[in-house]
């Protein structure tokens, strides 16, 4: 850690420091993430540390001469650090013994950021290294500005990457192997690859799968154009996809109806560390759901459709918990941008076992609603399971 503190001191003294991010805490009760950046308050230059814990952010403005003490007290319990200067980008890994392994790369930003104290939203992709990527995807114009018609998509991509950043602790250091089922035109697939490999300096191998040959051909061409050598796209059906590689993350965004179940089934059987799924369409539950008590509501098609969607995602989350995952059901993007805004984020627990009590709750709920859904069948589960 002394090497890292010396690096920070040098960057502060020669005014090349831009920002720093600490992530992957060793203890669950620690801060989830800490960031640091210059800020000017009443003409006094300080470092503003933002500490994230329990979905809250706490700000501490620290004078330059006290930065070392703050880092020593609050920032030593993390496995990973990214430090940005006008000279280099540093990717630092910290061992259990506190030994630091520092990897330097060319800088993604060569001029210091503004130090004015304002509340302008900063996005993960607000880096010079992202410009060629954003222009290639048609999100940015030739002048380096996000196109007004694409700004909602830009916000969605950054929100997605924020969700990914919260799962990094569960993933291996390198390489990270990822499969994106039903990738479509792959804005988010490209963004995921770019974030991990270019911005964070990690080594990620990503496969995108989709049924549309023209879309896959387009994506492979774009990956070659961007020189994303470990990103490739394949034509194929989720249910028939196989691999002999260990898959660390499975992504399934807007796979229709039971295609989401096929993606979840693959991820569970692979024991993937992270699963991110944004389901789309819930026809299976809509055609099955029955309940005398709820009949006054279910008789209205639009209400039945929404209830079927919520129930389906809820029981999927329950099944993932039964299979040893910690599950969060979160908002993916504001409802005004898309009604398909629920994301299932599942993290494999360090000690996994089949949770029979949780599965019994699943069966009780399904029985009360006359549901016999695909995911349990794909996992070869039944009410009489003796796992």
Inter-residue contact 230 to 204 (CB < 8 Å):
yes
pLDDT at 385: 45
Decide if 126 is inside a domain.
Answer: no
Residues 142 and 222 in one domain: yes
pLDDT digits over 322-365, tens only?
999 999 999 886 544 445 678 999 999 988 789 999 999 999 99
Distance CA 294, CA 289 (A): 10
Domain boundary among 69, 86, 120: 120
Residues 245 and 299 in one domain: yes
Q: Which residues in the chain land under pLDDT 70?
A: 1, 40-43, 110-121, 333-340, 382-387
**Sheet with 342-348, edge to edge strand ranges:** 231-235, 204-210, 176-181, 249-256, 274-280, 342-348, 325-331
205: DSSP letter? E
Residues 83 and 142 in one domain: no
Residues 109 and 149 in one domain: no
pLDDT at 1: 64
pLDDT at 107: 86
Number of domains in the chain: 2
Residues 152 and 52 in one domain: no
- The domain containing residue 325 runs over which residues? 131-378
Residues 238 and 357 in one domain: yes
Angle between helices 67-74 and 2-13 (to 10 degrees): 150
Residues 107 and 238 in one domain: no
Decide if 384 is inside a domain.
Answer: no
Residues 113 and 228 in one domain: no
Decide if 385 is inside a domain.
Answer: no
240-to-47, 186, 243 alpha-carbon distances in Å: 52, 20, 10
Inter-residue contact 362 to 252 (CB < 8 Å):
no
Domain boundary among 120, 143, 165: 120
Residue (of 72, 297, 80, 280) closest to 173 by Cα position: 80
pLDDT at 128: 84
Distance CA 18, CA 6 (A): 15
Q: What is the pTM of this model?
A: 0.69
pLDDT at 373: 92
Decide if 343 is inside a domain.
Answer: yes
pLDDT at 76: 84
CATH of the domain at 140: 3.40.50.150
Residue (of 45, 124, 129) closest to 89 by Cα position: 129
Residues 312 and 251 in one domain: yes
Residue (of 376, 353, 350) closest to 365 by Cα position: 376
Residues 178 and 205 in one domain: yes
Distance CA 202, CA 3 (A): 21
pLDDT at 127: 83
Decide if 125 is inside a domain.
Answer: no
Inter-residue contact 82 to 20 (CB < 8 Å):
yes
Domain boundary among 81, 97, 120: 120
pLDDT at 337: 46
Residues 135 and 116 in one domain: no
242, two tokens = 């196989």
pLDDT at 57: 83
Residues 226 and 355 in one domain: yes
pLDDT digits over 144-176, tens only?
888 888 888 898 899 999 999 999 989 988 899
């Amino acid at each position: 850690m002394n090497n890292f503190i010396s690096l920070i001191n040098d960057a502060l003294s020669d005014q090349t420091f831009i920002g720093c991010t600490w992530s992957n805490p060793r203890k669950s009760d620690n801060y989830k993430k800490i960031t640091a950046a210059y800020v000017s308050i009443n003409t006094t230059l300080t470092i503003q540390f933002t500490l994230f814990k329990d979905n809250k952010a706490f700000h501490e403005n620290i004078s330059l001469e006290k930065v070392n003490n703050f880092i020593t007290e609050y920032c030593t319990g993390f496995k990973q650090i990214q430090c940005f200067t006008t000279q280099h980008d540093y990717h630092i890994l910290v061992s259990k013994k506190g030994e630091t392994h520092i990897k330097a790369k060319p800088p993604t930003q060569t001029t210091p950021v503004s130090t004015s104290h304002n509340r302008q939203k900063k996005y993960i992709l607000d880096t010079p290294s992202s410009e060629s990527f954003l222009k290639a995807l048609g999100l940015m114009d030739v002048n380096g500005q996000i196109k007004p018609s694409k700004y909602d998509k830009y916000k969605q991509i950054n929100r997605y990457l924020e969700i990914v950043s919260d799962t990094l602790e569960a993933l291996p250091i390198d390489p990270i192997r990822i499969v994106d089922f039903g990738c479509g035109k792959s804005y988010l697939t490209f963004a995921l690859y770019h974030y991990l490999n270019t911005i964070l300096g990690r080594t990620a191998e990503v496969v995108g799968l989709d049924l549309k040959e023209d879309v896959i051909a387009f994506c492979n061409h774009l990956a070659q154009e961007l020189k994303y050598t470990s990103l490739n796209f394949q034509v194929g059906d989720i249910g028939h996809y196989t691999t002999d590689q260990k898959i660390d993350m499975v992504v399934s965004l807007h796979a229709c109806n039971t295609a989401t179940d096929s993606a979840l089934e693959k991820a569970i059987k692979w024991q993937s560390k992270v699963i991110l799924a944004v389901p789309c369409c819930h026809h299976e539950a809509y055609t099955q759901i029955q309940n005398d008590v709820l009949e006054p509501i279910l008789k209205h098609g639009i209400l039945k459709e929404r209830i079927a969607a919520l129930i389906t995602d809820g029981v999927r989350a329950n099944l993932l918990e039964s299979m040893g995952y910690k599950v969060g059901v979160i908002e993916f993007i504001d409802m005004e941008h898309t009604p398909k805004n629920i994301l299932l984020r599942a993290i494999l627990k360090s000690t996994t076992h089949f949770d029979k009590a949780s599965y019994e709750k699943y069966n009780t709920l399904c029985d009360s609603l006359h549901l016999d859904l695909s995911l349990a069948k794909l996992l070869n589960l039944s009410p009489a399971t003796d796992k």
